[in-house]
A and B are shown apart, each in its own frame.
Chain A
Amino acid sequence: MKPLLRVENLTKIYPGSGIIKRYPVKALDNISFTVEEGDIFGLVGESGSGKTTLARCILFLEPPTSGKVYYGNLCLNDVAWYQWKKLRSRMQIIFQDPNSALNPRLPIRRSLEEGLINLGYSRKQRNDTIRKLLDQVGIPYNQVDWYPYEFSGGQKQRIIIARALSMNPKFIVLDEPVSNLDVSIQAGIINLLMDLKKEFNLTYIFISHDLDLIAYLSTKIGVLKGGQLVEVGKAEEVLTHPLHPYTRFLLENPLSFHSRIQPWETLSKETI
């Protein structure tokens, strides 16, 4: 398969805050990986490990301090600002909190058609596209003039997915797309994302702190810790033969639902 996205030695340093002295924060440290077409690249890590920063740097929502990102053969570092508008539609991002990703003062039709207007669609084309998209994500079309507050969290996330799809993207970065949703809703959204991937031949970068979820859906897994990619590889390999102690630590989490470790087995061993 051909590589769709290549990240080379990506580093992001924030200047840090302070009046007398500033301590720079190295949020990402020399990160390299490749995402092939059709991959689901699962990125797992704790809060503060740089997952979201990496997502933002890949899409150049935030320019990296050093390092290069290639989209196909195109080096994103060299893209001029006026070329971005066209390129943006190829790559979309879905954030964790569906409540803050939709403008509360616009009916969802307006949020959905904004990108389509940019692409120069006529009114009729826009309505047809929106009808099709809402149908695909399982929102009835007669709710198109509702406001975001009238939908539940899971429905909002579906609308946001529809909005991302309206641009016909090649790949989507999903930054914890189900973490803010109720457990019983999560499976539905994940199933939807998997169906859409098949239908539109999408490539995902799926960011989550939940290793069970990453292990369920990824074809490739990257483990982030303290801004460094400590392990990256094919999902089966990482899951069956983890090399880094941190990956092993995550995989052996007794609090995972599928863990069969009992408290008395670990309590005596672990220092509290």
Chain B
Amino acid sequence: MGTEVLLEIKDLSVEFTAHQRRIPAVRGIDLTILPGQFHALVGESGAGKTVTSLSILRLLPPNVTSLRGSIKFNDHDLLQLSEEVMRNLRGREISMIFQEPAKYLNPSLKAGVQVMESIRYHMGYSEKAARERVCELFEKVGLSDPELAIDRYPHEFSVGMKQRVMIAMAISCNPSLLIADEPTTSLDVGVQRQIIHLLLDLQRSSKMAILYITHDLGIVRYAADVISIMYAGKIIESAPKDLLFTSPLHPYTRLLLASIPSREKRGTRLQGIPGTVPNPEDIPPGCAFHPRCPLAQQKCKENVPPLVRIEAGHRCACFFPGKELRSNP
């Protein structure tokens, strides 16, 4: 074996059926996460980011009609494991935090009890030992007065604090992969910053890998090691942070980066992307981005560009990677 790989998704496709219509949410993606890596999965709404993360944990809703490909985690294919093994894995090896922490905490149970639950289940701790562990965790995630916080109910915490409780719960069994699905999207700038710093600190101190799902390129630029950009159920570009921001190759990535407003752009026109994000029900044939792409040719309408390696670590799914954007009207 060469380099150690923590998670390897190969050719994953997920298809839903709703109202007798087939909705291909994820259309064959490859994704590799190394141990301790901060991997950002970026995309707009409907790109398939959340479906990808839910399929890793096998938490997909029941109306999934087709699930193909493989998700290898430490040499086990997660899609083949029994539900029982899966249950032992969730929260212990792979855990997840979500956008609205309030929705995922039981309002009628004390915060400490909820965090203890997974510790006792997975690690078989006694109640006393679990309580001590929760104290430790609360201290680690920056909740003041952990002894008191254990006996508080979720409503007594602010949103930022609730997210910290969620993070404490997620890291309680020292998972090797944390999936964070837009954990800071609804938070204020200051709190956002604290949560990102907390995640970075945990990633560094406990060698935990993070799959961070977001549409916020600012956070990605600050925190991620590797970035994969999704568009209409496919990964269209994947690269280490420095490469992606200095030499983006896919026209979508380049237009997206150019469309972000800033102080420096005052008085100039923003570069927008024409058209709209395709509905997962009718994704255009060929390259899904071709109707909005300034480089689109006949070839793009007929063939799907594969995700190919352009240089070390940099992959892009475009027939004309890096081509001058103004060449076509």
Contacts and interface: CB of A to CB of B under 8 A. Distances in A.
* Chains A and B form a bound pair: yes
A186 B259 contact: yes
Given A46-B188, A152-B276, A182-B45, A256 B270 contact: no
B219 A255 contact: yes
Contacts of B45: 182
B265 interface: yes
Contacts, number: 114
Interface stretch (A76-84, A93-101, A261-269): A261-269
Contacts of A235: 266
Contacts of B200: 263, 267
Contacts of A23: none
A208 B262 CA distance: 14
Interface string A135-164: 000000000000000001011000000000
Given A152-B277, A188-B272, A261-B222, A266 B197 contact: yes
Contact of B259 (A155, A183, A253): A183
Contact of B193 (A154, A182, A183, A253): A253
Given A191-B269, A254-B193, A257-B218, A263 B263 contact: no
Contacts of B282: none
A267 B197 contact: yes
A253 B197 contact: no
A250 B20 CA distance: 48
Interface string A229-261: 000000100010000000001100111111101
Q: Contact size class for A?
A: 35 or more
Interface string B270-302: 111110110000000000000000000000000
Contact of A47 (B188, B219, B221): B188
A199 interface: no
Interface in B188-227: 188-190, 192-194, 196-198, 200-201, 215-219, 221-223
Interface stretch (A13-21, A55-63, A108-116, A210-218): A210-218
Interface of A: 46-47, 152, 154-155, 182-188, 190-191, 194, 209, 211-213, 215-217, 235, 239, 249-250, 253-259, 261-263, 266-267, 270, 272
Interface of B: 44-45, 142, 188-190, 192-194, 196-198, 200-201, 215-219, 221-223, 252, 255-256, 259-266, 269-274, 276-277
